[in-house]
Amino acid sequence: MARVCQITGKKTQTGWNVSHANNKTKRKFFPNLKTKKFFIPTTGEWVEIKLSTQAIRTINKKGIEAVLKDVGVQL
């Protein structure tokens, strides 16, 4: 499965390792993703979502139903 947040769309970025001698090699910056389960009270079911930690904070602030509605998921 791809390393992409299902809410914010954050994904792996590429860049360069730069040594003291200014040698450059390719590298990847991975997002901080966690798999988390949320209970949706209106449907009465649990949903497992792969999220970035920023998305988890947004869900804690707004609520799972408001965030899913903003993304476009119909409950």
**Which residues lie below 8 Å from residue 69, measured CB to CB, with a gap of 6+?**
75
Domains of the chain: 13-71 (2.30.170.40)
What is the pLDDT tens value at each position of the chain, 75 positions in all?
689 999 999 999 999 999 999 999 999 999 999 999 999 999 999 999 999 999 999 999 999 999 999 998 877
d(CA 35, CA 69): 20
* pLDDT value, residue 1: 63
d(CA 14, CA 73): 30
* pLDDT value, residue 73: 83
Which residue shows structure tokens 């966690």? 34
Which segments within 1-75 are labelled E, that is strand? Answer: 13-18, 24-29, 33-40, 45-52
